[in-house]
Amino acid sequence: MNCTSIQKEITDSFAAGDCVSSSRVSKHLESCASCREFYGSQQILFRSLKDGLQAIANQPMPATFLPRVQSRLEKAAGEQHSWNPNWRFALLAAAAVLALSLISVWHRLEQPAAVHGIAKQVPMQTGHPSFGEPSPAIPPSPAPGRAHRQRKTPKAFVPLHDLAPEVIVLTEERLAFAKFVAQLPQERDLALALANPAPPARDIPVEVALLEIKQLHLPPLEPGGAE
């Protein structure tokens, strides 16, 4: 019988917490001195392991431990209680500040303020619209083939909310945007592209040509080649 497998079985039994060996092991131990010695050494080792672990895990607890914990808990409970009313007032104050901020922002958005003011400072070409001011509407581009004639369109006030598309401009970008808008009269096509809606997408049919495969020429394999 293989002593290695017997010794492995002995170790596994002790590791599993079983002190009683199988009949196969017992029978082998009767006739094998080295395995009996191994059994004895494993027995001592695992008993020492168990005792050592119990010594580590069951150290006496200091008598002052629980009283100290209780006093810390009392202190923590007191802190939680005194914190609550302050938290309530802080929340109310924060809600009031938030409400005031929202009202201020709403009020600002309703007025055509900064962009309008900045746009006025930029030199403008006469007869062309500026953002938010009484201005003529942008005339449509003439049909191809016809001579281009500049029409005089009556001046009409274009309020902010009637201009399309609406643009939300960040505060730090208002100046740049105002300059861009001021340049639009010089870039007529760009202005029209911004003012007019995008054309609907059209499905362009794709032409697919048939693939022609010419006749293939397959030379025969050389005789005696390796497979």
Residues forming the site for other proteins (CB under 8 A): 11-12, 14-17, 42, 45-46, 48-50, 52-59, 61-62, 65-66, 68-70, 72-73, 76-77, 80-81, 84-85, 92
Contacts (Cβ under 8 Å, ≥6 apart) of 82:
none
Closest approach of other proteins to the CB of residue 184, in Å: 45
Nearer to other proteins by Cβ, of 45 and 160: the residue is 45
Q: Which two tokens stand for residue 21?
A: 């060996």
Nearer to other proteins by Cβ, of 23 and 54: the residue is 54
Interatomic CA distance for residues 26 and 8, integer angstroms: 14
Nearer to other proteins by Cβ, of 84 and 215: the residue is 84
Nearest to 132 by CA among 145, 118, 116: 116
Closest approach of other proteins to the CB of residue 32, in Å: 19
Nearer to other proteins by Cβ, of 27 and 36: the residue is 36
Closest approach of other proteins to the CB of residue 31, in Å: 24
Contact indicator for 143, 114 with CB cutoff of 8 Å: no
Interatomic CA distance for residues 145 and 143, integer angstroms: 6
